[in-house]
Amino acid sequence: MSSKEARRVLVVPGEVICEGEFKVLSPNYIVKVDGKYIATAIGLAQINDDSRELSFIPLEGCYIPQVDDIVIGYVVDVGLTYWEVDIRAPFTATLYAVDFLGRPVNPAKEDLSSYLSTGDTVIARVEVFDRSRGPIITTKGKGLGKVIQGTIAEISPVKVARVIGKRGSMYQLLQGETGCDITVARNGRILINCPNKELEDILIMAILKIEREAHIPGLTDRIKEFIIREKVKRGLISGEGKAT
Amino acid sequence: MGKVRLLREDGLRHDGRRPDELRPIRMQVGVLNKASGSALVEYGATKVLAAVHGPREIPQKHLLLPNRAILRCRYHMLTFSTHERKSPAPTRREIELSKVIREALEPVVMAEVFPRTAIDIFIEVINADGGTRTASVTAASLALADAGIPMRDLVVGVAVGKVDGVLVLDIDEVEDMYGEADMPIAVAPSIGLVTLLQLNGVLTREEFSEAIKLALKGAQVIYNIACETLKNRYLGIKVEE
Amino acid sequence: MSVTPSAEITVPKLRSATILSMLKKGLRASGRGLTEFRPIEIVPGYVPNADGSALVRLGNTVVVAGVKLEVGSPYPDTPNEGALVVSAEFMPTASPTFEPGPPDENAIELARVIDRSLREIKAIDMEKLVIVPGRRVWVVYVDIYVLDHDGNLVDASSIAALAALMDTKLPKVEVDELGNVKVDRSSRSGPLQLRHKVVTVSVAKAENVLFVDPDIEEERVCETKLVIAVSDDGRIAGIQKSGLGALSVEEVMKATEIALNVSKDLLAIVEKSLTKPT
C-alpha cells in the first residue's frame, strides 16, 4: 500500500472508524465522541494516516445542493416571473425568468410557459443556496439552458463521483469507448447523446453497473471490459479478445 | 377462559424458548423501490415494514423548523394484522405509539443537517404477535440508514416481560396478554442512550433492575444483526463477470 | 401522524441559559430543591354533580378530575369485573397554544399513562363493581381536564385522578326481578373500593441533572422526562419516557430511585387531603 493511499473501511451509523487526532473532511458523516471518530451513515470511511485526514463516501443519500454544482432539473411549476425546478434535492429550485431570458419580463404581457413549461428539462448551475430558502439556479453560462435532445439516466447522487472517476478517468473511458456525449450533473442525472441506440443502451447499462459496484475496487477496468463485451455482443466491433 | 400456562415444567416458555432467548430475527433493507429508505423486520411472527420519504419540503410550511428537519412518524396496523380485525381509523394506541416511536428516533437523527425539511417515517405492522413497537423502532432505524440520513447511532428495540414471576426477553403476544409486565425499551448501544422506555405492569425495584440488564443483552444481539444487515447489502454484491 | 413539535412558545435564550446554568450547579431558578415538588393543593369533592372529583393545584398548574359511574356491560373476557376508562383533555383555557378539538398525542399519552398505572396495580377493586354478575357492572369513567398549564401536567393529573377516585361514592342501585338496574344518585351506598393507591413522579433531565416536577419553563428547556408510577407498597407500576432526548442507563436507575422516594410524600399529601374534616 503506497503511503499516499488512504485505507477504506465499510462502516454503518454508530461504528467507530478510528481514534486519535485527524482532520475531518466530511463533518456530517463523521463525528467525534470521547476521542473516537464515529460514522453517522452507511458508507466508506477513508483514513489517510499520513495526511491525518478522514473523509467519507456515503453509499446512500439524497442530493444536497452546493453552490456551483451543475444540475439537471425538470420544470414542475410555472410562476409569473420564475419557474420551479425539481433538482432531486430536499428543496425545489427557482429559476428566475430574467436569468433564463437575459432580460426582464412583463408578467402581464408574457406567459412564461411559452419559454419553459412543466416537464421541460434544463441544465443549470446552483447560484445561491443558503439553507434559509430553496436553491436558486442559473442558466447563464456555456452549455446551460433548455435540453432539447438526449436521454437522461438517473443514479443515486452519492455515486456521481464514481461515474466521473479519479481525475476524470471513468468519464473519459465512458466517452471514449461509446462515442457518446455525456454530461454528468451533480444531482445524479446524466444527459447522454449517442450516435445510435445500441451504444446508448450499453452506456446506460454501464452507468447502472457503476452505481451498483461503486464500492468495489477495480471498477474502471471492469467497466472497460463490460463495454467491449457488450459491443461485441451487438456486433459493433469484432470479437478480437479483450483489451489490455 | 382459562389462563394460558406461560412457563412449562422444564422452565421453558410456551413456545419452547429459554427465558433469555430472542425469537428468530430477520431483517432486510431496501425492500421498497419508491421510498428513500426502507426495511422489513421480523421478530418471530411479528412483521413490520418501515419506509422513509425525505428529507423533503412539505406544503404545511408552518410545521417546519428553521434550523433542523422535523420528523413525522406514523405507526399504523393493517386491519388484518391482529386476531380481531382492527378498524382502519387511527386508535389512541396508534397515536401514542407514533409519538413514542418518533421520540425514540429523535435523539439519534442528525436533523440539523436538513433545516426546513420533513423526514417522514411510515411504519406498517403487517402481522402483530407482540413487540410491534420495538420491531418498529428497529425497522425505522434501518430505513433511515438506508435513506442515507446521518444518525449518531442505530436504535434497536426489544421488550422484556414477566410471566409466572419470571423475567423473559422478547415477549410475544400471548406472553404480553397474560403476563404480569411488559417493558419495551429502545437503545442506541454504541452511545449508551435509552431512547424509548415504557413499563406496562408492575415490577419491584430489583425486578426492574434485572429487567433492564436482560433487555440490554438482547438489544446488543439485535443491534449486531442490524449492522450486519446494512453491511451485507454491499458486501453481498457479487461482481458480475 | 406524530410530528416534531414546533417551538410554539420559545423560551428566550437568556432565560433558558439562566435555568440551565443553575441546574448545572444543582440549583433551580425558582429556588426549589432538585427533588422538591411545588406546593400542592387538593380540593376533593370539587364538583358536586360528579360521583367523585378533585381539583389539584401544583404550583400554577391546575387540573380537575371527575369520576362518573355508569351502568354498563362488562368486557367479554372479564364478565365479573367492572371497567375503567380514563380520558384527558387539555383545555384552551390552559395555554394560548391549546386549540379546541379532539385530544392531541400529548393528552392521549397522559391519559394512557395514568390509565395503565391504575389498571396494572389493580388500584380499583374491579370485582366489587359487579351489579348483575356477567351482565351489568359499574364502568368507572375518569375524566381529566387541564385548566391551567404551568408544567408537569402528568403528575398533577395523576394526583387529581387518585384523589377523585378516593372521593368517589357509589350510587345506590336496585335490581328488579327482571334484572333491570335502577340507579338512585340521591343516595350513596359506600365509597369506591381501592386496593392500592398510585401516583406518577415525573423526573426531568437537563445538563445531566435530574429533577422532579418541572415547571413550564424547565419543561421547555429539559432534554427529556421519565414518568414513573409508584404504588403505595413501593412497587413500580408504570414507566414512560417522554420527550425528544434520551437517558443513560445510569440516569434511568437514578430517576427510578428518586421517584420511589418522592412518591411516599405525594401519597401522604393525597391521603391527608381526603381525611381533612370538611
**Residues of B whose CB is below 8 A from C224:** 103, 107
Topology, domain A7-58 = OB fold (Dihydrolipoamide Acetyltransferase, E2P) (2.40.50)
Is the Cβ–Cβ distance between A148 and A125 less than 8 Å?
Answer: no
| C141 beta partners | C68, C85
User: Which of A189-203, B83-97, B147-161 is modeled with the greatest confidence?
Assistant: B147-161
The interface predicted TM-score of the complex, written ipTM, equals 0.89
Flag if C241 and B103 touch (Cβ within 8 Å). Answer: yes
Is the Cβ–Cβ distance between A79 and A44 less than 8 Å?
Answer: no
Spell out the domain ranges in chain A.
Answer: 7-58, 70-146, 151-233
Give me the CATH code for the A70-146 domain, please: 2.40.50.140
Flag if B190 and A92 touch (Cβ within 8 Å). Answer: no
CATH superfamily label, C3-194: GHMP Kinase, N-terminal domain (3.30.230.70)
Enumerate the H helices of A13-113 as residue ranges. Answer: 97-101
C-alpha cell at C67: 369520576
Q: For residue B7, what pLDDT is reported?
A: 85
Give me the CATH code for the A151-233 domain, please: 3.30.1370.10
Q: Cell 468519464, residue? A: A171
> What pLDDT band is residue A3 in, cutting at 50, 70 and 90?
very low
pLDDT in tens, A191-244: 999 999 889 999 999 999 999 888 888 889 999 999 999 999 888 887 654 443
Nearest CA in chain B to A87: B56
Flag if B54 and A29 touch (Cβ within 8 Å). Answer: no
B44 contacts chain A (CB < 8 A): no
Q: Touching A: which chains, 3+ CB pairs < 8 A?
A: B
Is the Cβ–Cβ distance between A38 and A15 less than 8 Å?
Answer: yes
Spell out the domain ranges in chain C.
Answer: 3-194
- Which residues of chain B are at the C interface, by a Cβ-Cβ cutoff of 8 Å? 1, 62-65, 70-74, 92-93, 95-96, 98-103, 106-107, 111, 181, 183, 188, 192-205, 208-209, 212, 216
**Residues of B whose CB is below 8 A from C3:** 63, 70-73, 102
Closest to C249 measured CA to CA, from B214, B99, B159, B166: B214
Flag if A61 and B54 touch (Cβ within 8 Å). Answer: no
Q: Touching B: which chains, 3+ CB pairs < 8 A?
A: A, C
- Of how many residues is chain B composed? 241
pLDDT in tens, A64-116: 899 999 999 999 999 999 999 999 998 899 999 999 999 999 988 889 999 99
Q: For residue C189, what pLDDT is reported?
A: 87
pLDDT in tens, A112-143: 999 999 989 999 999 999 877 789 999 999 99
Produce one character per residue of A156-178: b if its CB has 16 or more CB atoms within 10 Å, e if not: bbbbbebbbbeeeebeebbeebb
Q: Touching C: which chains, 3+ CB pairs < 8 A?
A: B
Given this chain, do its domains A7-58 and A151-233 carry the same CATH topology? no
**Residues of C whose CB is below 8 A from B62:** 6
* Mean pLDDT confidence for B98-109: 98
Is the Cβ–Cβ distance between B69 and B154 less than 8 Å?
Answer: no
Strand arrangement of the beta sheet that strand B46-56 belongs to: B25-29, B37-43, B46-56, B118-127, B70-77, C2-3
C to B contact (≥3 Cβ pairs closer than 8 Å): yes
**What are the φ and ψ backbone dihedral angles of B158, each rounded to 5 degrees?**
-155, 150
Flag if B216 and C249 touch (Cβ within 8 Å). Answer: yes
Mutate to test the interface with C, among B72, B84, B208, B217 (most CBs of C within 10 A): B208
Flag if B72 and C109 touch (Cβ within 8 Å). Answer: no
C to A contact (≥3 Cβ pairs closer than 8 Å): no
SS3 content of chain A, % helix, strand, coil (to 5): 25, 30, 45
A14 contacts chain B (CB < 8 A): yes
Cα separation, B14 vs B8, in Å, equals: 6
Cα separation, B5 vs B10, in Å, equals: 12
